Structure 1
């Protein structure tokens, strides 16, 4: 009965899944046919970002369109009176639905993630940004956990809200909120970070992507460490470890001596470079990519199991 009720959503998903899988296979072949691998990041940067952003919608769609109506539709239309008065207990009824459709969701997300990971592998190897917030969630095995969580969240929310459309909206928003919260609040702390002190010479400042903040503070952003993900960067620090004063920073920012220096920040970088500044950085090396993938998968599966337990208790 679960499979029979799932026929139409499965057909719609298959219609979308097959072209997407075909495109990823074709993309992977094109990437591997490139003559100059060093140009792959610039050539496919926009494509990779577009695919990663689109892939982030897969769990939200699973939660909203597969999970949310699962129980909410039964309660909204009153058909649970028939379904829950058969020989199958309601807890077993819900457990079967969560298991069958949850595994289907995980298989769909895992297959797409495997294809994208394979297609993008040469680009990722050269770009060296595997821990990017957007890209990490579209690679490896973590998306399997996202799909399980989104589906279970939608189903249990429907059991509590009992209305399909509000449940779809809540599930959609909740999954997006998790996609923002986990990378920023939890992922940097899966393993103890490594630390380094980086001198802020004029060349180092010119390699940054941002200098200063909205409030005019001594902030430098967009620094990079080869083969690593920077999880935290301090403000500009003086040789004695104190934060550079706003006055000294703004003096260089607005009244830097004219030296004719080139680079992103030019004379400003030269002025700041003469102050013997540094920043303290914490980072996660790229060799931890797969341990982090396994940790995040386990985390989302644990969330899913907790939600399922709540649903099984509530359905009684």
Structure 2
């Protein structure tokens, strides 16, 4: 076994590890660069020429086609804007799934499966520093790229809102998630989650599928938690009307004679004699709706992003603890191996140790 590295040598391993990481994962880096640059260029095109052309087309439509007579307007510009806006939205929302799948398959799963990770630990760098390098560099690239795309998507939405009829409102689910820092937080959490799954499974293909699928329940949990991360606004009405609101509805129900709000999802307005009789028995004097208006857009985005960053830090700490625990156990027992590929990896690690 090689002797322990000196302090200067250990200090120089970090830059070498980063260079080696970028060289080994150069295809993924190139693909990520092409994706970010291509989407950014498309979003800039949408923001400028396509927004103006589509807005002009809609103006022509409203000015000339309000009667049942033949009219001409730039329908091609409207359809082109609509299609590209939908495609870029889907592409931005797909980034967390891509980051998780790549991290599980290539960042940790493949190196554990082939034994490359254990070879690095015995010759050049400690397991904890090895994992920290693999998480830090991709995390910076993924977060910066996704944040840029989300910013451009929000700028495109802002330029077309109220000018183009096909632009969705701010509380539309795809529009909300693709136009703020939440999607960058999801991409970072997905990256760390994928790396952790790769360490646990130790099989690149299995980790790829599992990591991508794991982002779906994460996103569902975020969607269910998000409305409760910021205080809601409340709209109240009497029995003869329903509360007026605009935004993300959180809860609704009846207002009792004591002023208490009683949540319910049935008969929140007297739309029928049956509902009227039910609300009479409930003692309802009005109705209420808890919701988030547009002024809560950025507080919701930032609060949810903060929660995702905390989750990513927790997952990273769990992955570091897992590596430290398993490698310490492996040194004590002499036979432990990371991941599920114990047989092939243990043999590869033993051969590498003998060669050293």
Cα drift, residue 144 of structure 1? 1.8
Match of 1:191 in 2: 230
Match status 1:157 vs 2:197? yes
What is the distance in 1 between the residues matched to 2:219 and 2:178? 11
TM-score scaled to structure 1, two decimals? 0.73
Q: Is 1:179 aligned to residue 184 of structure 2?
A: no
Tell me what 2:210 maps to: 170
CA distance in structure 1 between the partners assigned to 2:176 and 2:83 by the alignment? 16
Match of 2:316 among 294, 297, 308: 308
Q: Is the 8 A contact 2:103 2:198 kept in 1?
A: no
1:58-97, CA deviations, whole angstroms, 9 ceiling, x for partnerless residues? 1101110234421110111122232111231110011011
The alignment's TM-score, normalised by the length of structure 2, stands at 0.66
Q: Whole-Å Cα distance in 2 between the matches of residues 87 and 113 of structure 1?
A: 38
Unaligned regions of 5+ residues in structure 1, if any? 205-222, 254-275
Q: Which residue does 1:132 correspond to in 2?
A: 172
2:43 touches 2:88 (CA, 8 Å); kept in 1?
no
Show CA shifts across 1:73-130 (max 9, x none). Answer: 0111122232111231110011011000111111111111111111111334676832
- Aligned pair in 2 of structure 1 residues 165, 198: CA closer, same or farther (>3 Å)? farther
Aligned partners of 1:142, 1:109: CA distance in 2, in Å? 10
> Is 1:122 the equivalent of 2:162?
no
Structure 2: which 5+ runs fail to align?
1-19, 63-77, 276-283, 325-356
Deviation at 1:283, TM superposition (A): 0.7
Which position in structure 2 is the counterpart of 1:109?
Answer: 146
Check if 1:225 corresponds to 2:225.
no
1:49–1:134 contact (8 Å) kept in structure 2: no
Report deviation, 1:22.
Answer: 1.5
The answer to whether the Cα contact below 8 Å between 1:149 and 1:303 also exists between their aligned partners in 2 is yes
CA contact (8 A) 2:250 2:292 kept: yes
Which structure would you say has the larger Rg?
Answer: 2
SS at match of 1:230: strand
Give the Å deviation of 1:305: 0.5
Partner of 2:51: 31
Q: Provide the C-alpha distance between the structure 2 equivalents of 1:158 and 1:78, rounded to a whole number of angstroms.
A: 13
3-state SS of 1:85 partner? helix
Shift of 1:171: 1.2
Matched residue SS, 1:282: strand
Is 2:103–2:192's contact at 8 Å kept on the other side of the alignment?
no
Of 98, 110, 117, which aligns to 1:80? 117
Is contact 1:63-1:172 (8 Å) kept? yes
SS of 2:123's equivalent? coil
Instruction: Note if contact 1:68-1:151 (Cα within 8 Å) is conserved in structure 2.
Output: no
1:55 touches 1:138 (CA, 8 Å); kept in 2? yes
Please tell me whether the aligned partners of residues 72 and 164 of structure 1 are also in contact (alpha carbons under 8 angstroms).
Answer: yes
- Written as runs of structure 1 = structure 2, the 5 A alignment for 1:194-209 is 194-198=233-237
What is the root-mean-square deviation in Å for CA atoms of aligned residues? Answer: 3.4
Q: Work out which of the residue numbers 21, 24, 36 in structure 2 matches 1:5.
A: 24
Structure 1 residues 313, 252: closer, same or farther in 2, change over 3 A?
A: closer
Tell me if structure 2 keeps the 8 A contact 1:68–1:157: no
User: Cα distance, 1:194 vs. partner?
Assistant: 1.8
Aligned residues: 269
